[in-house]
Amino acid sequence: PLNNRLKTVARYIQHERLADIGSDHAYLPLYALENNLIRSAIAGEVVAGPFEAAVQNVKKYNASSSIDVRLGNGLEVIKPGEVDVITICGMGGPLIADIITTGKDKLSNHPRLVLQSNIHTEAVRRALVSLGYEIIAEEIMKEKKHTYEIIVAEYATEKVEYTQKALKFGPILLQNKNEVFIEKWNREYQHLIKVLSAIEHDPVHAQKHEQLKEEISLLKEVLGYVD
Ligand code: SAM
């Protein structure tokens, strides 16, 4: 059975052709196929071990005619126009951002992007904006003590702009601050308070104080804390 994190990602897939980049065991494409969410998939992997695991798993479930496992870096495993939806899951935000930016030629038919990052999701949002994509859904969730963010993006007909605050916290997540959201950003808030108190009286870090204070006050505003 698929974990909740990837099941949540799968809720945003309902297309003919999927590419799952960094597919590891190809669990997500196998699940999507089994549940008739897609017709065919490409499972991309850059590392030999996980690539082999994906090949074996696809064979085991007799899915070789529908799921093509390809070895390669990022979007280099797909041709422009080859898929309608791309999933990239279980990586840090900067790596996901780098994969879609480097592979932007493969996005010429504007596939939907479903991106699940573990940290620094802001980098993903920034990359999406520069590629002309718009965020249409976002989720933040917890599984086994880890926090995950999922961003669903579609190519925008008109250029979208987000505030710095929306890029950091998520334009949609900000509209409905759930428990996981509050917990994540409260943890960051507590952490920054500690960092600030450790360096507060050190004049060498004067510039850093100011920056920290600004970040703390933004967190306070988002979390609804009052002085
Ligand atoms: N997507 C699966 C999931 O969410 O459970 C696997 C996540 S696993 C933590 C990340 C996978 O991405 C690894 O198997 C790794 O080899 C692969 N990966 C990392 N960078 C990649 C890249 N540039 N291109 C393709 N795969 C990559």
Strand partners, 17: 40
Interface ipTM > 0.95: yes
CATH class held by domain 4-161: alpha beta
Task: Please give the model's pTM, rounded to 2 decimal places.
Answer: 0.96
Does ligand 1 come within 6 angstroms of the Cβ of 102?
no
**Nearest-atom index, ligand 1, CA of 73:** 24
CA distances from 51 to 57, 133, 152, 202 (A): 10, 29, 25, 50
**pLDDT tier, 203 (very low <50, low <70, confident <90, very high otherwise):** confident
Using a pLDDT cut of 90, give the percent of the chain over it.
94
Say whether pLDDT at 92 is over 80: yes
State whether the beta carbon of 44 lies less than 6 angstroms from ligand 1.
yes
Backbone dihedral region for residue 9 (phi beyond 0: left; psi -120 to 50: alpha; all else: beta): alpha
| Distance (Å) of CA 151 to CA 158, 171, 172, 185, 226 | 19, 10, 9, 18, 30
- Across the chain, mean pLDDT equals 96
Mean pLDDT in residue range 164-183: 97
pLDDT of residue 23: 98
Give 204's pLDDT tier (boundaries 50, 70, 90).
confident
Which atom number of ligand 1 is nearest to the Cα of residue 88?
1
> Would you state the structure tokens that stand for residue 88, as one six-digit string?
């990239």
Q: What does the alpha-carbon distance between residue 85 and residue 113 come to, in Å, rounded to a whole number?
A: 6
pLDDT at 226 over 90: no
Q: In the predicted model, is pLDDT for residue 227 greater than 80?
A: no
Task: Write the pLDDT tens digit of every residue in 126-155.
Answer: 999 999 999 999 999 999 999 999 999 999
- Residue-wise pLDDT tens digits, 20-74: 999 999 999 999 999 999 999 999 999 999 999 999 999 999 999 999 999 999 9
Share of the chain above pLDDT 70, in %: 100
Give residue 24 CA to ligand 1 midpoint distance, Å. Answer: 6
Is the minimum distance from the CB of 50 to ligand 1 under 6 angstroms? yes
φ, ψ of residue 43 to 5 degrees: the values are -110, 115
Q: What pLDDT score does 1 carry?
A: 82
| Cβ of 91 less than 6 Å from ligand 1 | yes
Say if CB 58 and CB 33 are below 8 A apart. Answer: no
Task: Tell me the CA–centroid distance for residue 25 and ligand 1, in Å.
Answer: 10
Residue 2 has pLDDT above 90, yes or no: yes
Q: Which atom of ligand 1 is nearest to the CA of 74?
A: 24
